[in-house]
Structure 1
């Protein structure tokens, strides 16, 4: 454990950020799974709704710095490609 006050604060801040990032990553994974489940079911309306929401969540995670730009693009592209198979 750190002895310097600023180092103690940095540890607390890092833990807080890590917890936030973990929650956002978990939400992104959940939304991707929802799109994949809708694709498996073959329900076109559900796929479109899930894709729209998942894309929004992934883009938001990118703007918050949880994912880098290309990672966001790759994730969105993969779920969009999967969703297009239903149509």
Structure 2
């Protein structure tokens, strides 16, 4: 347990940062799964609407990854690796 004022403050700051980091990481994971599902749907039914939906989801994943990188949730190389993996999958379809 914290005994002084600065230690109590650090506990609060760590809690705030942990929640912020968890938000970005889980959101990226969720959107990535949604992206893969939309890619599978597009593979079955190749319509322009399905491809545009996949592109929109990809853009939102990119946005969250970039925001997380800016806030030091993701390392810049890890973020680049995630984005490259997703873009490769989108190009192959």
Show structure 1 runs of 5+ residues with no match. none
Pairing 1:1-87 to 2, within 5 Å after superposition:
1-42=1-42, 43-86=50-93
Q: How far off is 1:72 after superposition?
A: 0.4
Q: How far off is 1:5 after superposition?
A: 1.2
Tell me how many residue pairs correspond in the alignment: 86
Q: How far off is 1:36 after superposition?
A: 0.8
Greater RCO structure (CA 8 Å; 6+ sep): 1
Distance 2:83 2:53 in 1: 17
- Give the RMSD, CA atoms, in angstroms: 1.0
Distance 1:44 1:75 in 2: 20
Using the size of structure 1 for normalisation, the TM-score is 0.91
Show structure 1 runs of 4+ deviating over 2 A.
none
